[in-house]
Amino acid sequence: MANHVVFFTLVALTLCHLAFAFEPSPLQDFCVADSTSSGIQTFWFSFSNMLYSTRPPKVNGLACKNPMNVQADDFFFSGLNIMGNTSNPVGSEVTPVTVAQLPGLNTLGISMVRIDYAPRGLNPPHTHPRATEILTVLEGSLQVGFVTSNPENRLISKVLQKGDVFVFPVGLVHFQRNVGYGNAVAIAALSSQNPGVITIANAVFGSNPPIAADLLAKAFQVKTSVVDQLQSKF
Ligand SMILES: *[C@@H]1O[C@H](CO)[C@@H](O)[C@H](O)[C@H]1NC(C)=O
């Protein structure tokens, strides 16, 4: 009986770190994401002459590559000099350098993006559920902003010029719009190797399957036909 209590306590302790909102400080130099592993390895341990197996939590989402097999290229990405293709309805393009593009970022709690904006191009309102973002303008002028949480929903907005820096706090809805005459370029760093993106319009009007139009009509206090039109864009 006591054995089982200790066993389940061990399991609970193993799982409890999943509830942490932020990356714990790494306890090793690095944990290069192993693309060949599912991240689910069976781990065996003995306890009171009994052999138990468990599936340990994934290390911040991905299993580590054997450090002996790690190469410089695991910590390397090339291509942020290349302009993103802004020929799309919003006129902006994000080139990400997250753990998906740079496996050495795994567990380090940091990533980077390049954002290109056509004239009047918009990076539409979105949030990063797991990251604060700090952005600097390399070329052009950007109107940027974020909205505070309920009930104030205060818009905090500013026009940035080349060299200016702005921070979007974790989880808050934010946007950037090119208000200059030419193209604009920004580089941003994010406080997660896997920041995630929720684009508000796509999530609300472009979900799969769609949210019921009458539900959204009530939420937005408009006619269902307005919701139908919005949903048809996605
Ligand atoms: C940019 O994207 C548009 C729309 O998807 C596509 O038609 C066009 O070929 C792309 N241009 C380049 C240079 O890749």
Separation of CA 4 and ligand 1 centre (Å): 60
Look up the pTM and report it: 0.80
Q: What do you get for the CA distance between the two ends of the chain, in Å?
A: 56
User: Would you call 8 exposed, middle or buried from its count of C-beta atoms within 10 A (0-12, 13-18, 19+)?
Assistant: exposed
Q: Whose CA is nearest to atom 14 of ligand 1?
A: 85
Tens digit of each residue's pLDDT (9 = 90 or more) over 213-226: 999 999 999 999 99
**Alpha-carbon Rg of the chain, whole angstroms?**
22
Separation of CA 188 and ligand 1 centre (Å): 24
Domains of the chain, by residue range, sit at 92-196, 197-234
Location of structure tokens 């030419």: 182
81 is in an annotated binding site: no
Cβ(119)–Cβ(183) under 8 Å?
A: yes
Position 11 pLDDT exceeds 90: no
Q: Which of 82, 83, 85 to mutate to test the pocket of ligand 1 (most atoms within 8 A of CB)?
A: 85
- According to CATH, what is the number of the domain 92-196? 2.60.120.10
Give pLDDT, residue 53.
43
128 is in an annotated binding site: yes
Separation of CA 85 and ligand 1 centre (Å): 6
For residue 232, give Cα distances in angstroms to 109, 198, 218. 37, 19, 18
Position 12 pLDDT exceeds 70: no
- Ligand 1 site residues (CB inside 6 A) read 85, 87
Position 117 pLDDT exceeds 50: yes
- Taking the CB of residue 90, how many other CB atoms lie within 10 A of it? 16
